[in-house]
Structure formats: structure tokens, C-alpha cells
Amino acid sequence: MARPLVAVATSAYGADFIRAHGQEHVLTIVARAGAAAIEIRRELFTAEVAPQLQGLRRAIAGQGLSTVYSVPLELWRADGRLDAEPLADALKEAAMLEARWLKVSLGHYRAACDLSALARVLAVHGTPLLIENDQTEQGGDPARIAAFLAAGEQARLRIGLTFDIGNWQWTGHDALQAAALLGPHVQYVHCKGVLRDGGKLKAVPPEAELAQWPALFAHFRPGVMRAIEFPLVGADLTAVTTRHVAELATL
């Protein structure tokens, strides 16, 4: 079987570092580390986004990387309506990056939500959509996510799931149980360890978790793309990134 594809989220290098140097700054590091993709984070741009995307797309392609575009957007508002205009804007930006996926959060989905509104937006744009279990009560509920994905599948919408292993701890759900429920929908996996520090949870590089993750990955399709979304720090960022890319590729 081919080596699984590993992505690196630019946020792994720290928000302050990325905002100071730009997301293009880490592309060479990611490519030299053996990763296949870069996850570009919209919240880390410090100027108007659209004018930067064509140059960033060319730089990413020049390093031989593919792109996942992450936007901090909840699909469904608290009133149950689709946040259609920001979604359309995010899909346009993803297309400018030639992104493999646009990644957003689910938001306040319920059975009464109008999937035809979502279908109309997705019909105009070609980038497939992923929702991610986030750290909120509404967006990190496996049953709610499963209901939405089942409804989307019935409506023949091109929607998959980003399974964030660590985020289940913020919402108080068991990751293995969530994997068993949601596994068939998973197209992308966010990997991070989680540490409780002073009563708060924070993302950390995985250590003991690595031994537990094969049981999770057994519920996903073989070779599913997985991403580093934990802090990458050290004097030699290429060496640090290379080590963790190699670790994730073995799962």
C-alpha cells in the first residue's frame, strides 16, 4: 500500500510566528519534511485575503504540495439558517487556492435545517466541503454530526468529515466511540495530543496517544489523509516536522 498522505496545518508553527512571517514562509519546511499537503488557515492572514491567494497557490504548487483550506465558519447559525454568504465567499477562496477541500464547522444544525439552501451554494462551487468536529457543544456532538452527514448523503451532497482526534476531549466525548460512529464519513484526520494545564486543555505533540491511534484509524478508510495540528517547535523546524510527518505516516 502507498505511504499515507500527511498534511501540516500552518497553525502548528504558532499563530504569532505565522502572522509575522506569512503562511508561505513554512512551505519549504513542510515540503522538505516529506508532507504531501499544507492546511492554510484563513484566520492567520493579516491583510485582505483574496489578493494573496493566487500568489500563495503558485507557491504551494511550486513546492509540490496540495492544499486544504480551513475557514473558521459555522455552517448553521443559531437560528437554524445556513450562513450562506460567508460560505460562498469561502468556497470562492478555496477555488482560488485550488484546494482539495474547504474545511468548516457544523454549527447549530438540526433536522429542520434546509439542506436545499446548502445544495444551492455547493452547486455553484466545485470545491468539496468537509465539516470538522470543533470544540463547541453544538459542533462537537457526534450524534448531531452523524445526523447531518446522513441527511447530506441522502441529498447527494459532496460533504465529508474532518475527524479531529483531540477536539472530542473539549466536548466530553470518547474519540473511539465517535470513530466507530462516524468512520465511513471521515476523509481527513486532525492529529494532536491534549494536555490539561491549570484546568485548561491545550494541544500538544502526541506521545502516549500514538499507541492508541491505530484503533481509531481502523475505523477509517485505509490511507486516509492525516494532518499535524499540534505545536511544532525547536531550533530545527524541518527536522521536527520531518519526525512527526514520519510518525503519522505509519498509522
Residue 67, strand partner residues: 38
Top-level class of domain 6-249: alpha beta
100-159 tens-digit pLDDT: 999 999 999 999 999 999 999 999 998 999 999 999 999 999 999 999 999 999 999 999
Q: Among residues of the chain, what percentage have pLDDT more than 90?
A: 94
3-state secondary structure of 104: strand
Sign of the Cα pseudo-torsion (102, 71, 157, 249, in order): positive
- 21: part of which helix (H) or strand (E)? helix 15-21
More confident residue, 4 or 248: 248
pTM, whole model, 2 decimals?
A: 0.96
56-68 tens-digit pLDDT: 999 999 999 999 9
What nine digits make up the cell of 230? 499540534
Mean pLDDT to the nearest integer, 13-18? 96
> For the chain, what are the domain ranges?
6-249
Distance, C-alpha 182 to centroid of its chain: 15
Q: Is residue 186 a contact partner of residue 161, using CB atoms and an 8 Å limit?
A: yes
| Helix, strand, coil share (%) of the chain residues, nearest 5 | 45, 25, 30
